[in-house]
Amino acid sequence: MSYTRLIQIEFNHCDPAGIVFYPRYFEMTNSVVENFFNDVVGRSFASMHRGAQNGVPTVSLAAEFAAPSRLGDKVLFSLVIEKLGRSSVALKIEGHMAEELRLRVALTLVWIDGMKSAAWPDAMRQRLTEYMEEAA
């Protein structure tokens, strides 16, 4: 099982050639991560960032762009947890249109508390662990 989110490619995502301008993919993958934390982990980005001084900044990011996406395409993004550490989580996000791979992103996030790396809070770690086990 993976967390999925369908994103339609809009005019604002495209460059003059009519394909997704690659930095827009990073915005889309961040949206997938943000919604995953809200829907699965039980912590919205709003709750983490508003006064709590918590968050999950990206510390590593690698992307492979396999095929172009065009205006009107509907790309299904899927997220899986590859590794859960003391304060980090390694994620893989893929975007597909039908059977065609459009992009693959590997990223690592780190839980911060008071602007410093910290161990995952117990409830968050439990949800991340349960999600990983369900996906296995």
What confidence score (pLDDT) does residue 119 get? 97
- List the pLDDT tens digit at each of the 136 positions of the chain: 689 999 999 999 999 999 999 999 999 999 999 999 999 999 999 988 887 789 999 999 999 999 999 999 999 999 999 999 999 999 999 999 999 999 999 999 999 998 899 999 999 999 999 999 888 7
What confidence score (pLDDT) does residue 1 get? 67
In total, how many domains does the chain have? 1
Q: Which of 11, 27, 15 minimizes the C-alpha distance to 103? A: 27
Give the domain extent around 61: 3-135
What confidence score (pLDDT) does residue 130 get? 94
What confidence score (pLDDT) does residue 114 get? 87
CA separation for the pair 59, 11 (Å, rounded): 29
Q: Which of 83, 88, 87, 77 minimizes the C-alpha distance to 30? A: 77
Please report, for the domain that includes residue 28, its CATH number.
Answer: 3.10.129.10
| Partners of residue 110 on adjacent β-strands | 88
Inter-CA distances, 75 with 14, 19, 122, Å: 14, 13, 34
What confidence score (pLDDT) does residue 133 get? 86
Q: Read off φ and ψ for residue 19, nearest 5 degrees.
A: -115, 165
Distance of CA 82 to the CA centre of its chain: 12
